[in-house]
Amino acid sequence: MTSLKTFECFNNLPKELRILIWEYHFESARIHVIHPSPESQMRNPKREVLLFCCTVLDSATNLVILDERPPSPLINHEAYDIALSCKRIWTPVIFGKDLADSVTSGRARVPLQFAISLGTNIYDEYNDTRQQARPVYVDWERDMLYLCVSNAEQAFWSMRSVPWRDSVRKLAVLVPQSEFDRAIPFGPTDPIREVLESMTELEELFVVLVPQADVLVPVTAPTSKALTSLSRDEFGFVPYVEYLKRAGLASNHILYARTAMSFREALVDLPKKIKLKRVVDVDCLTCSFGYYRRSLSPYL
């Protein structure tokens, strides 16, 4: 039996069912995943400014949205009318340029461990034609910004002075892996607090762990079936404590736990209440440098 790759009978469905499907599609939040562009592979993140790009995911399906523009009348009148009824407000953002400019302008407070070479030529004629120079459209009210990079610190510190910092409502930050047990990502609490204070509309902060094979107990390593049965939030993340229990981890991931604690301490006494969530990105797939993909949604 061949697998079904396309569905060609959508227009034959009852109108009420089509409307429900369109509403589900247009109401779904997007995940704007920030990661280094392929040309950053040869750059030293401690001494050079990385070039970032953005992959946009549909949070309901984990599928990559190739056309990041808002819905247009070109789809069809039925779908477009429903898209308008969702009342989403789209803002164009060039993530790669804004994050790099934040570092090179000197406005971002960069910790001492990042001796950034401010003279680095960020955008030359070649790089200006790359994908990261194209605007991505964000609905800040519903969408999530996900800093999913192995060197997440540089992107995080850039958040202090990007022009759209006051618009971010939901931010997810990957805790990068480190070969040094004492090297806590993002540094001390006070600089973290400065970044969070600058994001005046931030409501939810997700501290994300991507599982590594070396932290799993070999005998009780989870099967793919066990992972798909885990509960997920609206962005596909699994609660950290639940993952620990279901996956059979020998103990907490020390580096992740320390980082989560640093963020929790940074949130104390902030003028605005920000909800901290410890989560696991179990669907993240191993991709070539500069790309991000997820396995298909387990809900389907």
- pLDDT digits over 176-196, tens only? 876 555 567 787 788 899 899
Residue pair 232/280 in contact by the 8 Å Cβ criterion:
no
Which phi and psi (to 5°) does residue 52 adopt?
-110, 155
Its pTM stands at 0.82
Amino acid at 119: G
Between the alpha carbon of residue 53 and those of residues 40, 173, 216, 263, the distances in Å are 10, 16, 31, 25
Torsion of CA 28, 32, 33, 37, to 10 degrees: 140
**Per-residue pLDDT tens for 25-71?**
888 899 999 988 887 778 777 677 778 889 999 998 888 988 778 87
Tell me if residue 282 falls in helix, strand or coil.
coil
List residues bridging with 31 in a β-sheet: 57, 144
Instruction: Say how many C-beta atoms besides its own lie within 10 A of residue 1's C-beta.
Output: 3
pLDDT tens digits along 111-163: 434 433 333 333 333 343 344 467 999 999 999 999 987 767 788 888 988 99
